[in-house]
Amino acid sequence: MRVLVTGGTGFVGSQLVTALVERGDSVRVLRRASSSLVVLEGLPVEHVVGDILDPSAAARAVEGCDWVFHVAGLSSYWRARREEIYRVNVEGTRIVIDACLRAGVRRVVHTSSVGAIGIPPEGTVGDEDTTFDRTSAAFAYADSKRLAEGEVRKAVERGLPAVIVNPGVVIGPGDHYLISGSIVVEISRRRLPAVPPGGICTADVEAVIQGHIAAARYGRVGDRYILGGENLTYQQIAATVAEIAGKPTPRRTIPRQALPLLGAFVGIVNRVSSRPPAVSGEQIRLSARNVFFDSGKAVRELGYPLLPFRGAAEKAFCWYREHGYVI
């Protein structure tokens, strides 16, 4: 099987490339010239150097491929300008998807996010049919991923055999860009005095990769599948990581009513600072909510494994320690 992975030098993409190579597939990666290759060292993959925003590069990359996993996207949204997020995540998806249509690719798996589904109503757990909400519509990353899914669905109507997967907050080894892995690194480096009151849907990268491959094999064309795991509060996450790292467990919770003001302050600091932001005001405001999701559809239809957060955090911590991110 000849397979293309866009975003193959990133966290999820590189882990997917490794799994596909181990399956015996012939793997091609579309990457920028500036991309770090640290996570692909020693892997027998073909490289196409280019950008997903370049139609000619996308056409070269998909040519002759049976499967395409479109994993590329701008995930570190707090480090990017709003217009850049939309350009990469929406226009880039359209360009890749159009190239797949023209090339007659047999199966496309588009990596979206639970953010594209929206924030479930308070006290509920979201699923694939949750209504996209106004808060998420104002959140550039979530809105861009929703619009990117729209590009995929338009292509499905034109005959593209595409499936959408929506990972939660992915944790595991190899996240060298510190996208979601920053949770593990920050708690491992220092004692946190307090954590937000909300929670998130976590996902072990190993399960997410299995979910991608299963979606290519068994997913229903045009459908989306949540690839999550444990729904945990930030307090539970911090306690688990602190125990793994041998750090004191944070005992205090930031008052919910303080988060809007704190988020506004961080937003102002980020706008005037010359340093890349470690967190955005949007992230802080959203951390008041329990953004939980049910992966039951993926379990039933794809055989998706629900793996515990602790195992993912342990593997991530060990990888970061081996690579010098934590001591």
Domain presence at residue 92 = yes
Q: Per residue in 177-201, pLDDT tens?
A: 888 888 898 888 876 778 889 999 9
Residue 193 resides in a domain: no
Q: Write out the residue range of the structural domain in which residue 49 sits.
A: 2-172+202-231+291-307
How far the first Cα of the chain sits from its last, in Å, is 41
The pLDDT assigned to 298 comes to 98
The reported pLDDT for the residue numbered 251 is 82
Q: For residues 226 and 202, what is the distance between their CA atoms, to the nearest angstrom? A: 11
* Chain segment 69-100, per-residue pLDDT in tens: 999 997 765 566 788 999 999 999 999 999 99
The answer to the question of residue 111 being in a domain is: yes
| Catalytic entry in 141, 304, 320, 325 | 141
Would you state the pLDDT for residue 274? 59
Per-residue model confidence (pLDDT) at position 266: 66
Please report the pLDDT score of residue 265 as a whole number.
67
Residue at 299 is within a domain: yes
For residue 219, tell me if it sits in a domain. Answer: yes
Provide the token pair at 207.
Answer: 């399960």
Does 139 map to a domain? yes
Kind plus residue range of the DSSP H or E element containing 242: helix 234-245
Cα–Cα distances in Å, from 22 out to 68, 175, 306?
17, 20, 22
Would residue 119 count as lying in a domain? yes
Question: Is-catalytic flag, 218?
Answer: no
pTM: 0.93
Q: From CA 205, how far away is CA 117, in angstroms rounded? A: 20
Q: What distance in Å separates the CA atoms of residue 59 and residue 7, rounded to the nearest whole number?
A: 15
Q: How many domains does the chain have?
A: 1
Q: Which residues contact 260 (CB under 8 A, 6 or more apart)?
A: 285
Query: CATH code at 300?
Result: 3.40.50.720
The confidence score (pLDDT) of residue 50 equals 95
Structural domain includes residue 39 = yes
**What's the gap between Cα 187 and its chain centre?**
20
Look at residues 120, 1, 156 and name the one whose alpha carbon lies nearest to residue 67: 1
Which portions of the chain are predicted below pLDDT 70? 76-80, 191, 263-281
